[in-house]
């Protein structure tokens, strides 16, 4: 049997109508796998099915981008991969994750649509270019094939070497508590202490890429985190991934430990006032990595019309 033949295998892909997920579906189907796809709408699934001639379809499943809440949720995916690799391992079930960096998808369009933004991104990458969805599809195909029978519980990073700081730290032999030093020093093996060597490394990286360093207050950190959650919440409302603002708030309250007395990010947006939220996001969008702060059009429309997220809960 060929190492790269998936005939007789079945794959299920959620959110499969575009970008990276679609590339994965196409790679697996091209190798002979029977693929079940799902997306927010049946029409999107049917478009993919017509393109790659798969035999199964899962329609209209609700699923749940780039700032704090998004990053935290993605990081939380990695430990289950390790656990799931252990639990059914004796049944020869392998579980792995793919961790992509900047990839040319509609989702990441702000990274590459503006030539200046793409230049800044590519300038910081050793390969000097942004990734393509087919590269992720190829990795998924490899992990699903018989060419990777002993790979499990791993996260395959495909980012064009964007994770420079962690890599440089590891190259210095700093592997965390087990080596007595990582991002911090651990003189007693457990207690973290700030290490001037790491400070030097980070400052040097900032100088290398023209990043101006400054003091950032606790209030600004909290504000940025909250604005990011509000903006992303508005985007998934527009996309139909979430039905109502209150559903997003309940997810944060019950699933992510958001302070109950604060009601959730969308409730907080109404407390701040959507015109102020829109103004703050626009101000951040003028700064470094401004693409990540472009306000959701929904926030702009609600602010202009004097409406609130609460009005969408009816």
Tens digits of residue pLDDT in 268-312: 999 999 999 999 999 999 887 787 889 999 999 999 999 999 999
Judgement on whether residues 121 and 196 belong to the same structural domain of the protein: no
Residue 241 burial class via C-beta count within 10 angstroms: exposed 0-12, middle 13-18, buried 19 and up: middle
- Integer Cα distance of 101 and 122 in angstroms: 12
Question: How many domains, the chain?
Answer: 3
- Integer Cα distance of 246 and 258 in angstroms: 13
CA 81 from chain centre, in angstroms, equals 16
Q: Kindly list the distances between the CA atom of residue 144 and the CA atoms of 3, 25, 91, in Å, as whole numbers in the listed order.
A: 10, 12, 16
Tens digits of residue pLDDT in 134-166: 888 888 888 888 888 888 888 887 777 666 667
The dihedral of CA 170, 172, 177, 179: what is its sign? positive
| Secondary structure of residue 14 in the 3-state scheme | coil
The answer to whether 230 and 269 have CB atoms below 8 angstroms apart is yes
Q: Which long-range contacts (CB under 8 A, 24 or more apart) does 207-210 make?
A: 209/123, 209/124
The answer to whether 25 and 35 have CB atoms below 8 angstroms apart is yes
Tens digits of residue pLDDT in 23-70: 777 787 788 877 777 666 666 555 444 332 222 122 222 223 334 555
Q: Reading across the β-sheet that carries 10-13, which strands appear in turn?
A: 10-13, 34-37, 56-57
- The CATH number covering residue 296 comes to 1.10.1040.50
Judgement on whether residues 148 and 260 belong to the same structural domain of the protein: no
CA 123 from chain centre, in angstroms, equals 21
Task: Please report whether residue 135 resides in a domain.
Answer: yes
Q: Which of 27, 65, 20 is nearest to 296 (CA)?
A: 65
pLDDT band at residue 73, thresholds of 50, 70 and 90?
low
Residue finishing a domain among 157, 173, 193: 157
State pTM to two decimals: 0.53
Q: Kindly list the distances between the CA atom of residue 200 and the CA atoms of 3, 151, 169, 171, 196, in Å, as whole numbers in the listed order.
A: 47, 36, 12, 15, 6
Q: Kindly list the distances between the CA atom of residue 161 and the CA atoms of 51, 121, 122, 210, in Å, as whole numbers in the listed order.
A: 32, 12, 11, 19
- Integer Cα distance of 70 and 49 in angstroms: 29
Judgement on whether residues 114 and 243 belong to the same structural domain of the protein: no
How many CA atoms, within 13 angstroms, populate the side-chain half-sphere of residue 265? Answer: 24
Residue 65 has a pLDDT of 37
Task: Please report whether residue 2 resides in a domain.
Answer: no
Task: Please report whether residue 273 resides in a domain.
Answer: yes
Task: Please report whether residue 63 resides in a domain.
Answer: yes
Judgement on whether residues 76 and 167 belong to the same structural domain of the protein: no
Q: Is the pLDDT at 267 greater than 60, yes or no?
A: yes
Judgement on whether residues 168 and 145 belong to the same structural domain of the protein: no
Judgement on whether residues 193 and 90 belong to the same structural domain of the protein: no
Judgement on whether residues 81 and 181 belong to the same structural domain of the protein: no
- Integer Cα distance of 151 and 129 in angstroms: 28
DSSP 185: B
Task: Please report whether residue 4 resides in a domain.
Answer: no
Structural domain harbouring 99: 10-157
Tens digits of residue pLDDT in 178-230: 888 888 888 888 888 888 888 888 888 778 767 788 888 999 999 999 999 99
């Amino acid at each position: 049997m060929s190492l790269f033949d998936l005939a007789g295998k079945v794959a299920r892909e959620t959110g499969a109508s575009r970008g990276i997920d679609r590339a994965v579906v196409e790679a697996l189907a091209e190798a002979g796998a029977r693929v079940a796809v799902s997306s927010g709408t049946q029409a999107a699934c049917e478009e993919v099915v017509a393109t790659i001639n798969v035999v199964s379809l899962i329609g209209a499943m609700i699923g749940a981008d780039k700032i704090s809440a998004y990053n935290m949720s993605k990081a939380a995916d990695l430990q289950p991969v390790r656990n799931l690799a252990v639990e059914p391992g004796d049944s020869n079930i392998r579980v792995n994750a793919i961790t992509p960096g900047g990839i040319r998808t509609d989702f990441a369009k702000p990274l590459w649509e503006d030539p200046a933004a793409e230049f800044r991104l590519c300038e910081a990458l050793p390969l000097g270019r942004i990734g393509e969805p087919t590269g992720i599809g190829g990795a998924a195909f490899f992990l699903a094939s018989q060419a990777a029978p002993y790979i499990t519980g791993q996260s395959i990073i495909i980012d064009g070497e964007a994770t420079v700081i962690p890599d440089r730290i590891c190259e210095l032999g700093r592997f965390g508590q087990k080596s007595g030093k990582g991002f911090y020093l651990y003189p007693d093996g457990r207690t973290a202490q700030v290490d001037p060597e790491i400070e030097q490394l980070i400052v040097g990286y900032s100088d290398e890429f023209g990043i101006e360093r400054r003091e950032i207050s606790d209030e600004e950190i909290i504000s940025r985190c909250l604005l990011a959650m509000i903006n992303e919440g508005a985007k998934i409302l527009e996309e139909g991934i979430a039905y109502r603002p209150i559903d997003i708030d309940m997810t944060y309250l019950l699933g992510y430990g958001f302070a109950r007395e604060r009601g959730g990010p969308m409730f907080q947006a109404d407390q701040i006032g959507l015109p102020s939220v829109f103004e703050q996001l626009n101000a951040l969008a003028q700064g470094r990595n401004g693409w990540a702060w472009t306000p959701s059009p929904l926030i702009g429309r609600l602010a202009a019309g004097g409406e609130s997220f609460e009005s969408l809960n009816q």
